[in-house]
């Protein structure tokens, strides 16, 4: 009898352990199946989103090509509230665009004309000095430090290995922990190359270089109608309040001449700024496309009103996006792509901060 009970107990234990093992196996298999299903769904969504993103990229490129075509018969240019004609080319200042070819509503497209950036390959030596002085504190900048940085820049962009006074040439750079040779050419290959010049990595720390600078085109000036905040912050004569004033003004009407600028910028500041300014646009653009994120229901969400819109739109919180730098020369030829960055960092795309600075027109 005792032996029979022991056998029954052993059977029960074996059955229980078998049930436990089967439960573990079934759970593991179910988790694996669920994970596989989720992977399939995510791959499907990623493929769909990528297709929508590239469609928006192509439509944005066509938008720039259409810009170089004559207006259709009967279509008139947009006007400001004062009845002045608005240049459609000034739409490419980073606003969230509605395209002629309808894209997926979830895809945001922002285009930045490089006429709104500082061209490192065309900047005059005097302007580079003024830029350095502003970054070092303006009137409080130490003249010796300014001249050392300017000398290093000059040695990097000249055509020889002769070291200028307090400059830096091949011997200096080769002795670094990871040595390299200076460019010795005024044509930089990338915007980031400026960080290799002695002292400039510290000088430009924290600045979105691609938003502030360009190396493409031949422009020596900056067009405030399409200028990025990052570029304007480097221009002598502009402080944060004046920058927001310029952005608020251009959302209402175009800036066509210095007389109009004089209405919003004090004369003393305008005198510092004048030599930097131009009204030309360029053929070079930075194009950003990304899935929009609606934050309208989140605490602290900001409502944005873009140029020409009657109602405010919820601002997205995206900071990185698919980016291309392209050149568009005509309306019947595809753009030339110079750079692709799937994780490009967006410039500051916020609307004018009129309430923060109490700006009124």
> Cβ distance 57 to 287 under 8 Å?
yes
How many whole angstroms separate alpha carbon 347 and alpha carbon 361?
A: 26
pLDDT of residue 8: 65
pLDDT of residue 295: 52
> Cβ distance 352 to 251 under 8 Å?
yes
pLDDT of residue 302: 42
DSSP string covering 312-344: -EEPP---EEEEEEEE---TTSPPEEEEEEEEE
- For 237-282, how does the pLDDT look when each residue is reduced to its tens digit (9 = 90+)? 999 999 999 999 999 999 999 899 999 999 999 999 999 999 999 9
> Cβ distance 282 to 219 under 8 Å?
yes
269 closest CA partner among 289, 285, 245, 288: 245
pLDDT at 283 over 50: yes
pLDDT of residue 231: 98
How many whole angstroms separate alpha carbon 360 and alpha carbon 245?
A: 9
Dihedral, CA of residue 144, residue 145, residue 151 and residue 157, to nearest 10: -160
Tokens of 289: 């496309």
- Coil, strand or helix at 111: strand
DSSP state of 323: E
> Cβ distance 247 to 352 under 8 Å?
yes
Q: What's the alpha-carbon Rg for the chain, to the nearest Å?
A: 29
pLDDT of residue 7: 65
pLDDT at 315 over 70: no
pLDDT of residue 348: 95
pLDDT of residue 309: 46
pLDDT of residue 210: 97
Instruction: Please report which confidence band the pLDDT of residue 86 belongs to, taking 50, 70 and 90 as the band edges.
Output: confident
How many whole angstroms separate alpha carbon 49 and alpha carbon 327?
A: 25
Domains and their CATH numbers in the chain? 45-117+222-361 (no CATH), 123-207 (1.10.40.60)
């Amino acid at each position: 009898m005792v032996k029979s009970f022991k056998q029954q107990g052993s059977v029960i234990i074996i059955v229980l352990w078998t049930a436990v093992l089967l439960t573990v196996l079934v759970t593991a298999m179910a988790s694996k199946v669920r994970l596989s299903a989720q992977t399939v769904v995510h791959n499907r969504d990623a493929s769909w989103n990528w297709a929508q993103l590239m469609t928006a990229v192509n439509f944005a490129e066509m938008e720039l090509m259409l810009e170089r075509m004559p207006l259709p018969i009967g279509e008139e240019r947009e006007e400001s509230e004062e009845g002045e004609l608005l240049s459609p080319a000034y739409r490419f200042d980073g606003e969230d665009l509605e395209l002629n070819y309808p894209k997926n509503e979830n895809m945001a497209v922002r285009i930045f004309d490089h006429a709104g950036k500082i061209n490192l390959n065309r900047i005059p030596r005097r302007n580079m000095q003024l830029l350095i002085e502003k970054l070092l504190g303006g009137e409080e900048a130490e003249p010796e430090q300014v001249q050392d940085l300017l000398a290093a820049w000059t040695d990097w962009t000249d055509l020889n290995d002769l070291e200028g006074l307090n400059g830096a040439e091949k011997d200096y750079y080769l002795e670094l922990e990871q040595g390299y040779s200076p460019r010795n050419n005024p044509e930089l290959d990338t915007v980031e190359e400026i960080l290799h010049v002695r002292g400039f990595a510290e000088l430009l720390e924290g600045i979105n270089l691609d938003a502030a600078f360009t190396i493409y085109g031949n422009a020596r000036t900056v067009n405030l109608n399409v200028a990025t905040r990052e570029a304007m912050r480097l221009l002598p004569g502009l402080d944060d309040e004046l920058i927001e004033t310029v952005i608020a003004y251009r959302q209402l009407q175009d800036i066509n001449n210095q007389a109009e600028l004089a209405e919003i910028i004090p004369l003393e500041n305008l005198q510092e700024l004048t030599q930097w300014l131009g009204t030309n646009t360029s053929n070079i653009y930075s194009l950003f496309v990304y899935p929009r994120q609606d934050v309208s229901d989140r605490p602290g969400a900001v409502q944005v009103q873009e140029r020409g819109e009657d109602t405010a739109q919820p601002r997205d919180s995206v900071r990185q996006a698919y980016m291309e730098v392209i050149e568009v020369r005509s309306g019947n030829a595809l753009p030339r792509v110079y750079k692709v960055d799937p994780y490009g960092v967006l410039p500051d795309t916020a609307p004018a901060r009129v309430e923060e600075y109490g700006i009124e027109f």
